[in-house]
Chains A and B, each alone.
Chain A
Amino acid sequence: MKVIVIRTGGMAGLRRTWEVTVDDQPDSESWAELLTRLPWENRPKAPAQPDRYVYEIRCSRRRVVLPEQQLTGPWRELVDRVRNTEAPR
């Protein structure tokens, strides 16, 4: 299973993608645990703040788009972990 994080926006408007294949990770069980905590259904709309990042997160067939201000809790944990595991392209 892949977790894909796509970050766009920001002042520079750069597009960066990080991809982690969870099953290949040495700590795949703790990854799986984190994935179960993702609040896919709970997505309150937040007003856009100029020049903040926009995060698109994909896992299995699920997809969410979050403004940077809403990248909190398990979402933030996931993105930080993905970024620490793989280099962006």
Chain B
Amino acid sequence: MKCSIIPPYLLQRLASLEDPALAPVAAAARASLQRDAPFRGIRVGETPPPTTADRRSTLTTRTLRDADRTIADAGGTETLPGTVVRVEGDPDGSDAAVNEAYAGLGETHDLYRQVFERASIDDNNLPLVATVHFGDDYDNAFWDGERMVFGDGDGIVFTRMTASLSVIGHELAHGVTQYSANLVYQGQSGALNESVSDVFGCLVEQRSLGHSADDATWLIGLGLFTDQVEGEALRSLRAPGTAYNDDVLGKDPQPAHMRDYIETTDDNGGVHLNSGIPNHAFYLVATALGGNAWEHAGLIWYSALTNGTVPATADFATFGAATEQAAIDRYGADSPEHTAVRDGWAGVGVELAPLPAA
């Protein structure tokens, strides 16, 4: 067992094993903690305080660097990357989309750095790049594996896609997922991928606005629709299915509960539809715990996403179990946090998989 790649909270558990048959394991874990304690910032035998993010163990010291942002302009074409128009440190110019993308990348980078101690989306200080003015009347934004890409909207249904911080956070979170659990973009794992993006998109916006879980709108894409649309936003984590109801767009089709899970071949198996279910689970956990969602439910979700326990093909039950285990690891079994996580998933009708074996 290579102790140096085991995260500290797991080493703590191994170090306190009492079974005599596992004594060598416990001893090895204690030795590893002792040897690495100066780098980890915790002492052997101490439980890490619950408010610090889990530290990822690496063999090398990973510095948390400032954001390194580049914004490019596709000029209404669909050619990527486009022409670079702003680099890190440049002041705001006259192009609102460029300014919004730059600011949004910064806010998102800051959430990961300050709250989750993550060095950019790959946890290795990856430069953040975005292209704006993609396409003609392009009502969309996406992550292409390397950069975020934003359209300008058609001005009839949608305004420009950079106008929403939750959308910017959503797109960048696809990058974080790619570099961590890498949830397959299909079926339930795809709906989880989408949900993780909605959750962290919300957290970027909430932290930027200083909204606690009780104050927050819990909406994705607030402000993207024009005045002509009967609707507030693209999605609601508080009440999936209620974000819009419009003559042209139809009604928000998201389910909030497993009983309404949508089996479809549309949309890679309904990834933007069924994300409503894990979205609502997060909302329930965050509001049960209160305070700032990024400091409580957000830490649990971030842990589960990045601690290596979620397979790329995870379904809701498996991901839910990973969040339950993350809550137990951080806060203890039967803590308010553990209870909130169990209740949150129960509230959307997801029966959790058995906890991963210790």
Contact = CB atoms under 8 A, between A and B. Distances in A.
Given A48-B186, A50-B185, A53-B140, A8 B234 contact: no
B335 to A, nearest CB: 33
Nearest to A89: B248
Interface string A41-85: 000000011111110100000000100000000000000000000
A49 B113 CA distance: 25
Contacts of A52: 140, 142, 144
B174 interface: yes
B267 A9 contact: yes
A56 B174 CA distance: 24
B77 interface: no
Contact of B144 (A8, A13, A49, A54): A49
B266 A8 contact: yes
Given A50-B197, A53-B140, A15 B266 contact: yes
Interface residues of B, number: 33
B185 A8 contact: no
A1 interface: no
A12 B198 CA distance: 11
A38 B234 CA distance: 34
A54 B266 contact: yes
B193 interface: yes
A50 B266 contact: no
Nearest to A88: B248
A11 B140 contact: yes
A51 B141 contact: yes
Given A11-B170, A15-B266, A48 B185 contact: yes
Nearest to B235: A13
Contacts of B273: 13
Given A8-B266, A12-B234, A65-B265, A50 B161 contact: no
Which applies to chain B's interface (DSSP): helix, strand, loop or mixed? Answer: mixed
A13 B190 CA distance: 13
Contacts, number: 76
Contacts of B116: none
A74 B309 CA distance: 44
Interface residues of A, number: 18
B145 A54 contact: no
A86 B164 CA distance: 30
Given A8-B266, A48-B186, A51-B171, A13 B143 contact: no
B141 A49 contact: no
A8 B167 CA distance: 18
Nearest to B164: A11
Contacts of A10: 139-140, 142, 272
B169 interface: no
B5 interface: no
Given A48-B190, A50-B194, 15 more contacts: A9-B271, A10-B140, A11-B140, A11-B142, A11-B167, A11-B170, A11-B272, A13-B273, A14-B249, A15-B253, A49-B143, A51-B141, A51-B171, A53-B140, A65-B265
Interface of B: 139-145, 158, 161, 167, 170-171, 174, 185-186, 190, 193-194, 197, 221, 224, 234-235, 249-250, 253, 265-268, 271-273
What are the nearest 5 A-B pairs in CB distance?
A13-B272, A51-B142, A8-B266, A48-B185, A50-B174
16 contacts: A9-B271, A11-B140, A11-B142, A11-B234, A13-B234, A13-B235, A15-B250, A15-B253, A15-B266, A48-B190, A49-B143, A49-B185, A50-B193, A51-B170, A54-B267, A65-B265
